[in-house]
Amino acid sequence: MPHHIQTPYSIPVFDLMHRPGEMREKTLDVAEPEGFGNAVIGVRQGTNVHVEARLESLHDGILASVDVETVAEGECVRCLTDVKVPVEVEFQELFAYSFDEAFDYMVHDEHVDLEPVVRDAVVLSLPFQPVCQEDCLGLCPECGVRLLDNPGHEHEAPVDSRWAALAGLESLNDTPDLEEKR
């Protein structure tokens, strides 16, 4: 059997293997070694990932019932300020004793490695478009100021430079209508 590299999310299960009905609980606090997430938000390297796992021995493998708590960091998609989002996810995954296409994960070297499952569950739970608050107004499209910090922020209506040459024509409106002269 090939040797697999242990991660901080690996839990030894030699005392549970092939002993259906045996169960135990394990708590991990992992300083995330690499960081993971999507383009706008993720769990940064070094962030604490708190894992509560219940491991149950079944005939074909170890069933892991897992609760994960951590904090994801990113930026608001509207105003670009930093945001921190608490993450709580729960999942169950079976780690099979032998290769079986029905299962995605296996027990390796008498360990279950929760890392890929924790990462997948957390990433799937992350907000697709994180915001600092639900009603964030974003940034002023003209000057970039954060609108939440500047209530009532306004600019004069911009003049499109292509129309600037016509601006002087408004004063001609004061002359009598050409139709009347005919």
Distance separating alpha carbons of residues 24 and 45, to the nearest angstrom: 29
User: What CA dihedral angle connects 76, 123, 56 and 106, to 10 degrees?
Assistant: -160
Residue with token string 């030699």: 14
Q: For residues 116 and 123, is the Cβ–Cβ distance under 8 A?
A: no
Does residue 173 form part of some domain? no
Distance separating alpha carbons of residues 126 and 94, to the nearest angstrom: 23
Q: Report which secondary-structure segment, H or E, holds 181.
A: helix 178-181
Does residue 103 form part of some domain? yes
Does residue 158 form part of some domain? no
Q: How many CB atoms lie within 10 A of CB 49?
A: 24
Q: What is the pLDDT at residue 168?
A: 63
Number of residues assigned to the chain? 182
Does residue 80 form part of some domain? yes
Task: Put residue 135 in one of left, alpha, beta given phi > 0 → left and psi -120 to 50 → alpha.
Answer: alpha
Q: Going residue by residue through the chain (182 aa), what tens digit of pLDDT does each one get?
A: 445 678 999 999 999 999 999 999 999 999 999 999 988 899 999 999 999 999 999 999 999 999 999 999 999 999 999 999 999 999 999 999 988 777 889 999 999 999 999 999 999 999 989 999 889 989 888 888 888 888 888 887 666 777 666 766 655 555 555 555 55
Does residue 156 form part of some domain? no
Predicted TM-score of the model (pTM): 0.77
Q: What is the pLDDT at residue 178?
A: 54
Using only C-alpha atoms, the chain has a radius of gyration, in whole angstroms, of: 30
How many independent structural domains does the chain possess? 1
Compute CA distances 169 → 17, 101, 163, whole Å: 88, 77, 11
Distance separating alpha carbons of residues 78 and 129, to the nearest angstrom: 9
Does residue 117 form part of some domain? yes
Q: What is the pLDDT at residue 165?
A: 67
Q: Report which secondary-structure segment, H or E, holds 119.
A: helix 115-125
**62: containing domain:** 10-125
* CA nearest neighbour of 110 among 19, 8, 7, 15: 15
Q: For residues 87 and 126, is the Cβ–Cβ distance under 8 A?
A: yes
Q: What is the pLDDT at residue 5?
A: 79
